[in-house]
Amino acid sequence: MVNIDGTGFIQLTQSNDAYPEISPDGKSLVFSSTRDTNNNWYWNIYLVTEDFTGVVFNLTGVGGGSNVEPSWSPDSKKIVYASRESIYDDFEINILDLDTMQRTKLTDNEIDEHSPDWWWEE
């Protein structure tokens, strides 16, 4: 993260981290990483709170699947992301409710789905 004028550089992540997104309320950061798996096929989604310098939480667990491309809901309470159970499966779209940690699978088909994002009108 850096100020518009180029000052105040802060490194928010490390390791093999990708797809960072700051929450709409400006308090948290989500990103995907292989940091717990050490395998480029198995990604998890992580959350950093406390102005991006706090504890890093693994939201999707350490398993055989891949969870990538997280995007925040407008109220900063849910994350939508692409997920697959194994390297042989297609990516599907899921929502994770951060209050309940309940995962809802939105798609279940044989199409590789990526880059989910929230859409709303104001």
Contact between 56 and 48 (Cβ < 8 Å)? yes
| Per-residue pLDDT at 67 | 93
| Per-residue pLDDT at 31 | 94
| Per-residue pLDDT at 45 | 94
Full-model pTM: 0.86
Q: Going residue by residue through the chain, which has 122 residues, state the pLDDT in tens, using 9 for 90 and above.
A: 788 998 988 777 777 889 999 999 988 999 999 887 777 778 999 999 877 767 788 999 866 689 999 999 999 999 999 999 888 899 999 999 999 999 999 999 988 898 898 765 55
Contact between 67 and 43 (Cβ < 8 Å)? yes
H-helix or E-strand containing 68? strand 66-72
| Per-residue pLDDT at 103 | 92
Q: Of 67, 10, 70, which is closest to residue 34 (Cα–Cα)? A: 67
Q: d(Cα 51, Cα 22) in Å, to the nearest integer?
A: 10
| Per-residue pLDDT at 14 | 74
